[in-house]
Amino acid sequence: MTAATTPYRSRVSGGRDGFAQALRAEWTKFRSVRGWVVTVAGAGALLVLVVLLTAGTNVATCGRGDVEEPCPGPVLGPGGRAVEDRFYFVHQPLDGDGVITVRVTSMSGRIRRPDPVGLVPGVMPWAKAGLMIKESAEQGAPYAAVMVTGAHGVRMQHGFTEDVAGRPGGVSAAAPRWLRLARSGDTVTGYESADGRQWTTVGTARLEGLPRTVRIGLFAASPGDLTVGHGALAGNTEERFTEVTAVMDQVGVRGAGTGGAWKQDDIGVSYEPDGTPHHAGGLSRSGGTFTVTGVGEIGPRLEGMTAQNTLTGTTPALVVVIVIGALFVTSEYRRGLIRTTLTAMPRPGRVLLAKATVIGGVVFAAGLAGAAAAVPAGLRLLRDNGNVILPVGALTEARLIAGTAALLALSAVLALGLGALLRRGVAAVIAALALVVLPYALATASVLPDTASAWLLRLTPAAAFAVQQGLPEYPQVTHYYSAAGGFYPLPPWAGVAVLGGYAALAVGLAAYRMRRGDA
């Protein structure tokens, strides 16, 4: 008579204690292999080593005639933000509250084309002219302005980053635009009108700490003409000189301190070695008609390095943690130990979750330590070598550091899931690299059209690199926003969520396969 066989039952409880025991077991496995521990720590160290090597050789100088000298630091605006503040300003003092009104009757301009064409007629879409209240005539001083633009209608802008749209359309002698700017304490309100009688509010700005005496007047500015290469290869950009000329009349100013002579300032103009202004603006006045010509931009500065440029070691660190993530599970398949693991803990999902928690946790810790050291060290070295560094703020730096650690950790978990699914270390590593590193390399190397690069960084795990974007995009600022320049199609943490979704899918599919009993 055959004895009955009692089925195996795990003594591990099915609740939290069971997962805790699995977690302890997987942690013991990981730390018992000294090579894994050292390699993960080395991945964090790579973040520091690579930026020290690259930043140490990245030396920047600026020419002034035949003389090379350190590049000047960025102009800083409110809150320490790096800004562009270059325009022509015709202004008077205003002591306390007041109002300025003007009628804009035309906008024209010139754009430089390659020789022998030279300057040709044209107005940049974001060329602007109108009214401004500014704390002082110094670059970076807080301001609020209401304006007409080349192709974006009337706008209200302030603080170098804020933009509110008014009525669309252009301006001409037959269809002029009336503008008004009113100050009441720290509050500045912009208005527009088609006839000077019925007024519509465009926007309101609150300029905290605005002093009693400010500058109020007319301005004009025109950013460079940016052209981007298209076709098989992207990323070929060129920016050329432009200027705008606005004709304004019916100027009315009310308020204490106003009514005197108009002062003219070419804010932010640079000078040739012989003292000649480089691309100067100007004012031509005939009675009550002001013809103001200006060049330059008023907005956030986007050209320069940020803390994002100190994380160049992320890609080599990714390769390392992907290899370790895959080996953490495939080594058990290679040695036949996976059956022992599943005998002691017969719930594959719990086993994989414990492995993912361990590998994700240790990689996150190593990445966090490495990024936290790389960012300040890299910024200091880049700055000492004359590079222009754009401040991004403490919260953004914290996001860059924590986000890089999350990118490394989730990539290791993805490799773990692929390893458990494919059962071969080499195959898992290649698959993970193809999903994370390859799309990023293709998108940032400017070998694909911008549209294709953007879709790669939306749909693949490489979307998580968005967490390393140092500066936001501004629709009202003319700039080439591309992955090669450090701009991504998804918000920072949304990109991390895409990678997290891939990692969860890989671990879930692997657990499903293991539950089928073919471990």
Percent pLDDT > 70 in the chain is 92
Q: What is the pLDDT of residues 47-78, one digit of tens each?
A: 999 999 998 788 777 766 566 777 788 999 99
User: What is the secondary structure of 224-277 as a DSSP string?
Assistant: -EEEE--SSS---EEEE-EEEEEEEEEEEEEETT-SSPPEEEEET-EE-TTS-E
pLDDT tens-digit readout, 315-336? 999 999 999 999 999 988 777 6
Domains of the chain: 16-58+305-515 (no CATH), 77-300 (2.60.120)
- Which of 155, 137, 149, 154 lies closest to 85 in space, CA to CA? 137
Phi first, then psi, for residue 211 (nearest 5°) are -70, 165
Render pLDDT for 434-448 as a digit per residue (tens, 0 to 9): 999 999 999 998 888
Q: Tokens in use for 373?
A: 């050291």
Work out the pLDDT band at 7, boundaries 50, 70, 90.
very low
Answer whether 155's CB lies under 8 Å from 165's CB: yes
Query: Mind listing the pLDDT tens digit for each residue in 94-120?
Result: 999 999 999 999 999 999 988 777 889
Positive or negative torsion for Cα 372, 374, 380, 386: negative
Report CA 160 to chain centroid distance, whole Å: 16
Mean pLDDT of 373-402: 94
pLDDT confidence tier of residue 224, bands split at 50, 70 and 90: very high
The whole-angstrom separation of Cα 326 and Cα 428 is: 6
Q: What is the pLDDT of residue 343?
A: 65
The C-alpha atoms of residue 128 and residue 243 are separated, in whole angstroms, by 10
Average pLDDT, the chain: 90
Quote the pLDDT of residue 239.
Answer: 86
Residue 272 has pLDDT above 80, yes or no: no
Q: Supply the pLDDT for residue 345.
A: 67
Which residue, 130, 150, 122, is CA-closest to 242?
122
